[in-house]
Amino acid sequence: MTDEIAEPEAHREPELSHGVGPWPGGPDAWPRDARLDPELLAHGDARNVIDEYRYWRMDAIVADLDAKRHPFHVAIENWQHDMNIGSIVRSANAFLAAEVHIIGKRRWNKRGAMVTDRYQHVRHHEDVASFAAWATDAGIPVIAVDNLPGAAPIDSADLPERCVLLFGQEGPGLSPEALAAASGAVAITQYGSTRSINASAAAAIVMYEWCRRWV
């Protein structure tokens, strides 16, 4: 599902206060459902998953998500080991993106993903050129997200149903090569004094706007 190099914390589920205990009644009372994990039925399920997926095997959850993923993708440039990437992956899982594309460094900080990268397809591209070639071959338009002159306000911009939402690094934003690969650019309307908002927050806003229109 992902070819990224795992970091130690990525292998541990976060300690959460919610969850369910062992299935009552013991093995004889377990439901006859191939999607369920005997270990979770026996010991309980404290994972950060919705109730529908309690006790399900991870591969069964991924298969169910794959059957209903949305046709938008998310891409992030990764030149500075940006800590926002993990949070963007988590949001991509929450909004059921088809795939997340990491452009640049293969290794990325997974802490913010809170283990959601296990359920989200992640693809790596060595550089913008290889990412752009993939998008062209797939016939998917790339929409840059950055508050640049000429970018259309997200609330009124054309946002295709099938597209790649491309985000840059915290601070420098999108590289010139990434902007050149995009067929359009959108910006989030802001009302205060700050020049920009956090990259992971921006990604969540734009993904929600896509879902508001198309789901």
Q: Is 137 left (phi over 0), alpha (psi -120 to 50) or beta?
A: alpha
Does 179 score more than 50 pLDDT? yes
Mean pLDDT across 116-131: 97
AA letter at 202: A
Which residue, 35, 66, 97, sits at the end of a domain?
66
What's residue 114's pLDDT? Answer: 94
pLDDT digits (tens, 9 = 90+) for 12-23: 555 545 799 999
- 158 in the same domain as 87: yes
Does 92 score more than 80 pLDDT? yes
Buried b (16+ CB within 10 A) or exposed e, 32-55: eeeebbeebbeeebbbebeeebbb
- 106 in the same domain as 58: no
Give 108: exposed, middle or buried? Use CB within 10 Å, 0-12, 13-18, 19+. buried
What's residue 10's pLDDT? Answer: 45
- 209 in the same domain as 133: yes
- Percentage of residues of the chain with pLDDT beyond 70: 92
Tell me if 134 is assigned to some domain. yes
The CA distance from 168 to 206, in Å, is 13
Using pLDDT thresholds of 50, 70 and 90, give the confidence band for residue 80.
confident
- 134 in the same domain as 52: no
What's residue 51's pLDDT? Answer: 95
What's residue 82's pLDDT? Answer: 73
Q: Which of 31-40, 77-86, 190-199 shows the highest mean pLDDT?
A: 31-40
Tell me if 10 is assigned to some domain. no
Mean pLDDT across 162-189: 94
What's residue 172's pLDDT? Answer: 82
What's residue 5's pLDDT? Answer: 45
Domain that holds residue 46: 27-66
* Cβ contact 186:154 at 8 Å: yes
- Tally of domains in the chain: 2
Q: How many CB atoms lie under 10 A from the CB of residue 208?
A: 14
Mean pLDDT of the chain: 92
The CA distance from 123 to 103, in Å, is 9
The CA distance from 79 to 15, in Å, is 30
